[in-house]
Amino acid sequence: MRAKGVLSAPNVILHPWLKEQLSEVLAEIEKKHPRAELPPEAERPACARWETWLGHPPRNPEPPLRIVLVLDNLAGHLSYDLVRWLFDHGVMPLYTPIGGSWLNMAESV
């Protein structure tokens, strides 16, 4: 993924930038692997199915899953607008955990 270093960016700047970058990546994927050539959802490997990541079948028909995007847990990344855009474009957001005993193991050494 392409990245720009910034100290802070409000959602009004971050979300359009993220959508633009993801649109470029998705266009590259589409050129190499057109949707028309993809097998039906039931015939895809488990990691390429929405149900695997959602924990249930999708309520609405979604486009083929193309990318799993790992994000931190900032509230702005949870906005309905952004998540709906991601789903509509075949992107599954995967959020890093907020806490866990294993997260700070290096600090205890």
Residue 18 lies in a domain: yes
Please list the ranges in the chain whose pLDDT falls under 50. 109
Neighbours of 14 (CB within 10 A): 16
Distance CA 2, CA 81 (A): 22
Residue 103 lies in a domain: no
Please state, for a pLDDT cut of 70, what percent of the chain lies above it: 72
- Alpha-carbon gap, residue 36 to 44, rounded angstroms: 14
Decide if 25 is inside a domain.
yes
| Number of domains present in the structure of the chain | 1
Q: What is the pLDDT of residue 44?
A: 87
Q: Is residue 6 part of a domain?
A: no
What range defines the domain where residue 49 resides? Answer: 13-98
Of 79, 71, 78, 75, nearest in space to 97 by CA: 71
